[in-house]
Amino acid sequence: MPAIAVESTQRGYIIPIGGAERKKGKKPAILGRFVELCGGDDARILVIPTASLLNETGPQYEELFKSMGARSMCVPIENREECFNEETLRILGEATGVFITGGNQLRLSTILGGTPVARLIRSMNAGGVHVAGTSAGAAIVSEHMIAGGRSGSSPRESGVELAPGLGLTNRVIIDQHFNQRQRMGRLLAALSFNPFACGLGIDENTAAFIAPDGRMEVLGNGTVTVVDPSDLRHSSMSYVRRAEAVTLIGLKLHVLAEGAHFNVETRIATLD
């Protein structure tokens, strides 16, 4: 379960981004909105580039946030030992926003999972600090993380690989680069294992801004595909053979573009 919010303290936003978000221009909409939430010119944003194998990924985001007026620092965390570093934890603890870059989500879960860094991010988000992640960084914010799987539109047995995420929310399972990489099948397969959660399939250059009360707003030029399994009446996942197609009856689907909302608590989609 997510960390319990401190009494009288509002939980921070959770902001999964589908990857390939716009970075050029006077003020890129998604990243600019994140900076504003974190305090604008008073924002202190910590960039965690663990998922990426490219040395330039973290510094690029650090400079990008600085160009928007925020104070920003990149802290490369390359192994689990570094997650116990007192200086790293001190720097993290001073942030008003945490940004997790893209790359390989299994690097995130195997390096950060269960460490003091992961626990501190959870408690900080419960205490009001906003956490955003793009691509792999988006996948890991939920309790159940999609680590890999088949492309395609239909769910199949063995069609998805799941791993533990940071657990900032247990209300959703997130997939990214959604329509660009045809990931409906693996999101549906993930939901067949855990129909408690809603599925969010987030397109590139698109973000879901999930507020403390569970109200989600879509921002960007793609869509967020919401799959709600709360009325799921039948799933064949438990008895189909390996790699066979899966039957799912009773799913509800929403396709939401910029300005649309969905409440992950009430499961109601709206346009206001």
Write down the catalytic residue from 135, 142, 192, 235: 135
At residue 71, the 3 state secondary structure works out as: strand
Separation CA 226–CA 171 (nearest Å): 12
Rounded to 5°, the CA angle 247-105-63 comes to: 135
Taking a C-beta distance cutoff of 8 angstroms, is the pair 146, 190 a contact? yes
177 is catalytic: yes
* Total number of residues shown for the chain: 272
Write down the catalytic residue from 62, 72, 177, 192: 177
Write down the catalytic residue from 21, 62, 143, 204: 204
63 is catalytic: no
Separation CA 246–CA 240 (nearest Å): 7
Q: Work out the number of other CB atoms within 10 angstroms of the CB of residue 32.
A: 18
Beta strands in the chain (DSSP E): 14-17, 44-48, 71-74, 97-100, 130-134, 144-149, 160-164, 172-176, 198-202, 206-210, 215-220, 224-228, 234-235, 248-249, 252-256, 261-263, 269-270
204 is catalytic: yes
Q: Could you give the residue numbers annotated as active site?
A: 135, 177, 204
